[in-house]
Chains A and B, each alone.
Chain A
Amino acid sequence: MGTLITGRVGHVVTKGLDTHDLVCDKPSIAGSVSQRACVFCGSRVVLYPIADALHLIHGPIGCASYTWDIRGSLSSGPELHRLSFSTDLKEKQVIFGGEEKLYTALCELIDHYKPAAAFVYSTCIVGVIGDDVQAVCKKVEKEKGITVLPVMSEGFQGTKKDGYKIACDVIAKLVGTGDDLPVQPFSVNILGDYNLAGELWMLSEYYKKMGVQIVASITGDGRVKEIRNAHKASLNIVQCSGSMIYLAKKMKEEYGIPFIKVSYFGIEDVSDALYEVAKFFKSEQLEEKARQIVIKEINQIAPQLAEYKNKLQGKKAALYVGGAFKAISLVKALRMIGMKTVVAGTQTGNAEDYKILREICDEGTIIVDDSNPNELSSFVKQTGADIFIGGVKERPIAFKMGIGFCDHNHERKIALAGYAGMVNFAKEIYETISSPVWQFVKR
């Protein structure tokens, strides 16, 4: 593979051809055009959907400007999370420190917006200029009588994944601080769904129908009060294991709450997500209800899916997503509609998930960690993929290569989780692949 720069070779394997283990969990190489973001980004996207909290970004303007309304995380109530607050540090603060500005900014915002809690994010320069963010938070917390949590997410400390962990630690500080929500016997928390395109609402509908109470959603359509009560639930259901598994483990240690790992993408996985919960509560009643839901939902979508499968049979997909757990789901979902995954890449997959990914992929599939536009375009070419599944940064690569694209990232506007989501997914893929526009492209 001629396009790989030194140091990148280990990050790519072709199943059936290469024998080395995939190298992952490494910082990106200097001078690469990585598709990854920073620690701050990881923390920000995890905490962002908590809709009644104030999110203040301490740093120069860009870090806040670029994350304004960045995710399509919907809220059923307050929308404070959709405002972008920044201390907008200037040269003066860089020289003399920004604590005072942070303090004033924070107090004003709390007075005005009366949030249920406040998160203060540290960006790269904050530590360097010597601001004691934690002290300021403590002081304001005391004065204003609301919880103010510092999120020490300086971008350079690592990758987005480290940011997830920092966010989990912050959430863990909230968990267990409330005891004002009544909890039923079959109660769960949903971890790691961000309510993109209202997906969480779809999923909670299933659980509610089964008779399962959702105590807290962490963090899609999230509320501070619910998170405070999250320790009262009997089970944590963790999706998108990359971002939330750490919190689940922590809650298990601290409160003895067991967790299950699920995915809501694809019929198989979403059905498992329901059955597993029933199984956990050892309730036949739950299981029966789950079965009813699954049968009803599948019956409803089966004819449409069969039609898409017919049309998409044998088409090849390249995918590049955040974590490997999601990639695994997607490979399975694609298979269900007759498609083959020829490239499966992720920004920050872990060794464990990569191993499973490698197992379930077909021979010849290229598996790649922390890729860049150059590599991705050459993989697409080499494999003759018909569609690219990824995020906005991957879209122009697909389009310039003259192939279809499906947004499976946090900017999506169409629900892709659950049963209806599976049809949407197939429809999206079919519509882009079968568009007449490609006739004008030489490939």
Chain B
Amino acid sequence: METSKYIKKKEQAFTSTRNACKQCSPLGSSLAFKGIKNCIPLIHGSQGCSTYIRRYMISHFREPIDIASSNFSENSTVFGGAQNFNISVDNLIKQYNPEVIAISSTCLSETIGEDVKKMISEYKAVNKGKILPELIFASTPSYAGSHVDGYHEAVFETIKSLSENKESNDIINLFPGILSPEDLRLLKEVFLYYNQSYIMFPDYSDTLDNPSWDEYKKISDGGTSVEALKRTGSSKASIEFGYVFNSSAQTSRIKTQVAYQTAAKYLNEKFEIPTYSTGFPIGIKESDAFFNLLNAITGKETPEKYLLERGRLVDSYIDGHKYLSGKKAFVYGDEDLIIGIISFLSEIGIKTVLCATGGESKILQSALENVLGDRFNSEMIIGSGMDFESMGAHMETYQPDIMIGSSKGVYLSKRHDIPLVRVGFPIHDRIGSQRVKHILYEGTQELFDKITNALLEKRQDDSEIGYQYM
């Protein structure tokens, strides 16, 4: 097989990043921490990082997103932030009375060599005898990874610091990766239909998509409870979604251990809990894989509901295929998400000509080859560590018919007059970003309809005749 042109960062014309297709690490960790029940995230560093991250997330989720900062000053930068750390924890306990304070670092606190783990143990020692919230720390310097890496780091550290191995139980752990709150709800529903107990982490399906409130809540309802997180060490199996995970990260922990590590793999190594990895369940094949996996673990059969959904999805594939065949797509975003989407597109006759990510895992191509098998399009341009301006240059050459990715590509979509179907994070220019469905038959159905209709709309708009039937 001819290998595709693999564009590395260096081959881009610019040393700088021009319109980044990634966010920074503590954003990802804070997102994961938002999936813990009664938890307040704290970013140990200067104020701007947390305010920017909050604003960025608020514009997507349209929910209150409280993330505290230890508010470094000139002094803390020179003499260390231990005092700021202690005051922060005190103030957060007083204000929020949380069960968990989940701490991320920033580029600054990492660069000056803050030892947050030590600060935590000293804080605990000083406050011995008091009932304290759990203090969890994820090291998230952005110079060593993106939001995706920060997310996985936070999931890993949470499980590492809380999981306990007690009496074994019939629970399945699920580590879903960066999905929308609605996706997480779909997953929880699956377990209900299977009548199978589960622990999903992180679960921000409620915390980042709360109903209207009668009374202002300091901490949004929902999330995975500390108790459940502790029990993850006694579950009968773990499922994790993804192929790439945090393999872009270059933090020292990961470097020294050679391989990257996820929460599920940690539980496997530490407590011998069997781990099953499968891709983001997008499209029929990857969703089938997830259901087959569940069937195998539970000994049950796919519930009727999902068989019907699958049947309807196949039916719609057939209804729509003539509008889609031979169309060319440009897909961009987090690596594990775009792998799922490209796999789905290959099922419906859309050729992905350009796929790009801000991530730098170096395994995107091999992951795609594995997932797609003979559906892999060897002419596809795979851009790793890419920014939007470089993507724009490639669009000129490859002339896609449709773009699929975050709202940050909207200017390219306008510039080239190509419809954009918004998926993933962030979606800053539309309402309902929390409710975008990506996964399982139901989410695929939504994606399928959106993509087909976007192409139809374009065709209709471009036509002078203005067909009433398409």
Contacts and interface: CB of A to CB of B under 8 A. Distances in A.
A231 B133 CA distance: 58
A398 B210 CA distance: 14
A101 B24 CA distance: 19
Interface in B183-239: 210, 212-214, 216-218
B87 interface: yes
A306 interface: no
Interface string B295-323: 00000000000000000000000000000
Contacts of A125: 107-108, 111, 143
B58 A396 contact: yes
B108 A128 contact: yes
A101 B77 CA distance: 24
B270 to A, nearest CB: 28
B20 A64 contact: yes
B70 A62 contact: no
A30 B103 CA distance: 13
Nearest to A442: B214
A402 B74 CA distance: 40
Interface string A92-120: 01100000010011001100100000000
B404 interface: no
B168 interface: no
B355 interface: no
A37 B20 contact: no
Interface string A1-41: 00101100000000000000000000111111111111111
Interface centre among A64, A65, A128, A377 (most CB of B within 10 A): A65
Nearest to A4: B95
Interface stretch (B43-51, B115-123, B336-344): B43-51
A392 B59 CA distance: 7
B389 interface: yes
B441 interface: no
Given A61-B146, A401-B216, A32 B69 contact: yes
A175 B17 CA distance: 30
B27 interface: yes
B90 interface: yes
Contacts of A397: 64, 216
Interface string B56-81: 10110011111111111110110000
Interface stretch (A79-87, A219-227, A290-298, A318-326): A79-87
A91 B143 contact: yes
A88 B17 contact: yes
A67 B52 contact: yes
Given A39-B48, A86-B16, A155-B48, A61 B214 contact: no
B73 A63 contact: no
A64 B19 CA distance: 8
B370 to A, nearest CB: 28
B52 A31 contact: no
Contacts of A146: none
A355 interface: no
Contacts of B213: 400-402
B17 A373 contact: no
Given A61-B24, A66-B56, A108-B15, A90 B68 contact: no
Given A61-B22, A62-B24, A156-B46, A36 B51 contact: yes
Nearest to A106: B16
Given A34-B47, A128-B77, A105 B24 contact: no
Interface centre among B23, B90, B142 (most CB of A within 10 A): B142
A373 B19 contact: no
A323 to B, nearest CB: 16
A156 B84 CA distance: 13
Given A156-B72, A392-B59, A59 B107 contact: yes
Interface in B241-281: 250
B402 interface: no
B18 interface: yes
B20 A61 contact: yes
Given A34-B51, A128-B112, A61 B16 contact: no
B52 A124 contact: no
Contacts of A40: 48
> Which 9 pairs from chain A and chain B are nearest by CB?
A38-B48, A62-B24, A31-B88, A31-B91, A66-B52, A105-B16, A156-B46, A377-B216, A88-B17
Given A30-B70, A156-B76, 15 more contacts: A29-B71, A30-B91, A34-B71, A61-B20, A86-B20, A88-B17, A91-B250, A108-B14, A156-B74, A156-B77, A374-B218, A380-B216, A393-B58, A400-B213, A443-B214
14 contacts: A6-B91, A30-B69, A30-B91, A31-B42, A38-B46, A65-B24, A84-B19, A91-B143, A94-B143, A124-B77, A125-B107, A125-B143, A155-B49, A399-B62
